[in-house]
């Protein structure tokens, strides 16, 4: 049992509290958000989603002309390729009748493999959809996770799958916990453990060994 990782979670939870992610009105909206947030800030995703004007559902995107879809999601950046990804994802979802309750009856690994076969979906996006849209216990790893693990000296591994497996070995499969832990890491990365970290007042300040921080701070 890695008490260091557990300690990290407990400290973040006690400082920031429950995060209640993902901000969306439906599983499909989470799926769309997971595509749109690739390589852009969340504020741009919100602008793009607002442009659907209440019509963000799979049937609407299925029937929409490609050029019209590109125009709607333009604020999210990379809109040409993201429109193709959304069409592909929506087509994949159709085999479950756009019904999250049907999809949730399938084995998680089957759904993960299918998602990884959809154009534009890599491990981080697939796991975000599994966890935040469908409530499967699949831990999401991102650059914030990697950075915090390095600075806090959690020896979780050097690549996506290694880090994911490490977290999932330390913590039993628990979608609510995985949901909250990843959200806490993102919140922490945006408030204290930024690219140039703000260590003063950080809730991990007393226990963090700050690997590489001096080098980061000087660049
Ligand atoms: S003490 Fe500094 S390096 Fe460590 S987690 Fe906090 S902000 Fe990041």
- The full set of domains in the chain, from first to last, is 3-20+140-218 (1.10.1670.10), 27-133 (1.10.340.30)
Supply the pLDDT for residue 1.
53
| Cα 175 to ligand 1 centroid, rounded to whole Å | 26
The residue ranges of the chain whose pLDDT is under 70 are 1-2, 215-219
Judge contact between 28 and 93, C-beta under 8 A: yes
Nearest CA residue ID for atom 3, ligand 1? 210
Compute how many other C-beta atoms are within 10 angstroms of the C-beta atom of residue 86. Answer: 26
Query: For the whole model, what pTM was predicted?
Result: 0.94
Supply the pLDDT for residue 218.
42
| Cα 210 to ligand 1 centroid, rounded to whole Å | 6
CA distance 51 to 47: 7
Q: Crossing angle for the helix pair 3-16 and 175-191, nearest 10 degrees? A: 70
| Cα 203 to ligand 1 centroid, rounded to whole Å | 8
Give per-residue pLDDT as tens, 126-150.
999 999 999 999 999 999 999 999 9
With a 6 Å cutoff on the Cβ, whether 205 touches ligand 1 is yes
Give which of 76, 73, 86, 80 is closest to 42, Cα–Cα.
76
Q: What's CA 161's distance to the chain center, in Å?
A: 15
């Amino acid at each position: 049992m890695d008490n260091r990782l557990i300690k990290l979670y407990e400290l973040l939870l006690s400082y920031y509290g429950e995060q209640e992610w993902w901000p969306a009105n439906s599983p499909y909206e989470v799926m769309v958000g997971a595509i749109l947030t690739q390589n852009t800030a969340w504020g741009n995703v919100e602008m793009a989603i607002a442009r659907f004007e209440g019509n963000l559902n799979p049937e609407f995107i299925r029937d929409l002309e490609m050029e019209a879809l590109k125009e709607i999601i333009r604020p999210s950046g990379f809109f040409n390729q993201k429109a193709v990804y959304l069409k592909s994802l929506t087509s994949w979802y159709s085999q479950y009748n756009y019904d999250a309750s049907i999809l949730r009856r399938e084995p998680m690994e089957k759904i993960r493999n299918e998602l990884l076969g959809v154009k534009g979906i890599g491990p981080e996006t697939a796991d975000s959809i599994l966890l935040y849209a469908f409530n499967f216990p699949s831990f999401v790893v991102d650059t914030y996770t990697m950075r915090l693990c390095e600075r806090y000296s959690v020896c979780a591994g050097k690549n996506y799958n290694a880090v994911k497996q490490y977290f999932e070995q330390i913590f039993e499969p628990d979608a609510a916990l995985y949901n909250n832990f990843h959200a806490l890491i993102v919140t922490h990365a945006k408030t204290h453990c930024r690219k140039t970290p703000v260590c003063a007042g950080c809730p991990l300040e007393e226990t963090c060994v700050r690997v590489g921080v001096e080098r980061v701070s000087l660049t």
